[in-house]
Amino acid sequence: MSSHRTNFDIVIAGGGLVGISTALGLRLRGLDVLVLDGCDDDNRAARGNFGLIWVQT
C-alpha cells in the first residue's frame, strides 16, 4: 500500500518562480497544493518568461 497522498485542492505544473510563488500563496490561504516540476536541467521557462509578469491592482 502506498503512503503517498493523492488528493489535493490544487495541482501546479512547474516549480519555477511563478509556480512556487503561486503555491505558497495558495498554501497560506489554507489550500493543499501539489507542485509538479521537471528535472533541474530543464531550465527553460523560468529564464525567459519572467519579464512578462507585472503587478496589477
Total number of domains constituting the chain: 1
First to last CA, the chain: 47
| pLDDT mean over 19-23 | 92
| Residue 40 predicted with pLDDT over 70 | no
* Among 17-21, 25-29, 36-40, 47-51, the range of highest mean pLDDT: 25-29
Cell of 24: 505558497
**14 within domain boundaries:** yes
Confidence (pLDDT) at 3: 81
**Residue 29 is assigned to a structural domain of this protein:** yes
State which residues form the domain around 33.
10-41
pLDDT at residue number 9: 96
Q: Confirm whether 48 is domain-assigned.
A: no
Residue 15 forms part of a structural domain: yes
pLDDT at 4 over 90: no
Q: Is residue 35 part of a domain?
A: yes
Q: Is residue 18 part of a domain?
A: yes
Distance of CA 6 to the CA centre of its chain: 17
